[in-house]
């Protein structure tokens, strides 16, 4: 369902962008050169590929894809496992709480918690709410991980195709004195020079 929603949003945005580009052409807009158009097309391909199949955008970018793709799928596996574990505990606590509420704090016959009182019933209700919240949070975290996969592919392709990221980065460390109130603080000044 989420995937269908993402495709619908992408198609709508794409159609809007195409109409806007057609309107600009009619108005005599400045044309982009072919190199920039090719670069933008490659950048669009990478994040869209990551939305279709997580990790495919990282593979398209090259570089450390062999390290990033297992981390992406490991995050999905961990998220799905956490959702499943919290859901199983939620169901167990829900059944126990429902039984205890229905039969006025009586413990079920096959329970691991034979104490039958109002405090145990409230503990099961609180536990049910705790695992439901954690399950929902893990679902949102897994969806966020999916989005982060596409954002990482986009940023990585921007660095690769649009900006010059060289090894000409220099770092200069020097001593520094900074006045703080009525005293002087001694420290280090770190200056990073980018090309």
Residue in the structure block whose two tokens are 């391909």: 45
Please tell me the predicted confidence (pLDDT) of residue 74.
96
Residue 22's pLDDT is what? Answer: 57
pLDDT at 191 over 70: yes
pLDDT of residue 41: 80
In this predicted structure, what is the pLDDT of residue 109? Answer: 78
Residues whose CB falls within 8 Å of the CB of residue 114, separated by 6 or more in sequence, listed in order: 107
Most confident of 19-23, 93-97, 130-134, 170-174: 130-134
Q: What is the pLDDT of residues 32-83, one digit of tens each?
A: 677 777 778 888 888 899 999 999 988 988 888 889 999 999 999 999 999 9
Alpha-carbon distance 85 to 178, whole Å? Answer: 53
Supply the pTM of this predicted model: 0.64
On whether the CB atoms of residues 23 and 16 are closer than 8 A, the answer is no
| CA 98 remoteness from chain centre | 35
- Name residue, tokens 């495919």: 56
Report pLDDT for 118. 85
CA 111 to chain centre: 39
pLDDT digits (tens, 9 = 90+) for 134-178: 999 999 999 999 999 999 999 988 888 877 666 777 889 999 998
Average pLDDT, the chain: 83
Which is it for the CA torsion 49, 50, 56, 59, positive or negative?
A: positive
Helix axes 34-52, 118-161, angle to 10 degrees: 160
Both tokens assigned to 121: 């019933």
Which pair of structure tokens corresponds to residue 11? 């198609």
Query: Measuring CA to CA, which residue among 70, 68, 61, 82 is closest to residue 143?
Result: 82
Q: Are 131 and 93 in contact (CB under 8 A)?
A: yes
Q: Read off the tokens for 62.
A: 């090259």
């Amino acid at each position: 369902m989420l995937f269908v929603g993402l495709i619908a949003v992408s198609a709508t945005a794409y159609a809007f962008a195409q109409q806007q580009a057609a309107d600009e052409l009619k108005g005599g807009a400045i044309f982009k050169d072919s190199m920039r158009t090719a670069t933008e097309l490659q950048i669009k391909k990478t994040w869209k590929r990551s939305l279709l199949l997580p990790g495919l955008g990282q593979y398209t970018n090259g570089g450390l894809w062999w390290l990033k793709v297992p981390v992406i799928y490991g995050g999905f596996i961990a998220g799905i496992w956490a959702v499943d574990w919290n859901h199983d505990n939620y169901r167990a606590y829900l059944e126990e709480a429902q039984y205890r509420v229905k039969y006025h704090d009586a413990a079920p016959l096959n329970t691991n918690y034979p104490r039958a009182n109002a405090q145990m019933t409230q503990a099961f209700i609180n536990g049910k709410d705790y695992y439901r919240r954690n399950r929902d949070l893990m679902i949102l975290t897994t969806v966020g991980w999916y989005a982060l996969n596409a954002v990482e592919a986009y940023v990585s392709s921007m660095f690769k195709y649009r900006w010059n990221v060289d090894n000409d980065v220099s770092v200069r460390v020097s001593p520094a004195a900074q006045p703080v109130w009525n005293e002087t603080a001694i420290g280090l000044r770190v200056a990073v020079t980018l090309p």
